Amino acid sequence: MRRRVLVLFLSQVILRVLVGQVNHSLAAWHMHVFLGALFILLPTLTLPFGEGLALALLGGLLNDAVAPVAFGTHAFLFGAVHVLLFRIRDRVPRDQTLGLIVIVLLANLALFLVFSFIEVAGLPVAGALWPRLILDLVWSQLLLVAATPWFVALQERALVLVRAQPRPAL
What whole-number distance in Å separates Cα of residue 49 and Cα of residue 129? 37
Confidence band for 82, pLDDT divided at 50, 70 and 90: very high
pLDDT at 2 over 90: no
Question: What is the sign, positive or negative, of the torsion defined by CA atoms of 60, 65, 67, 72?
Answer: positive
Please name the residue ranges forming H helices in 65-125.
73-88, 97-120
pLDDT at 169 over 50: no
pTM beyond 0.85:
yes
pLDDT tens-digit readout, 29-70: 989 999 999 999 999 998 999 999 999 999 999 999 988 888
Question: What is the sign, positive or negative, of the torsion defined by CA atoms of 117, 119, 120, 122?
Answer: positive
What whole-number distance in Å separates Cα of residue 155 and Cα of residue 140? 20
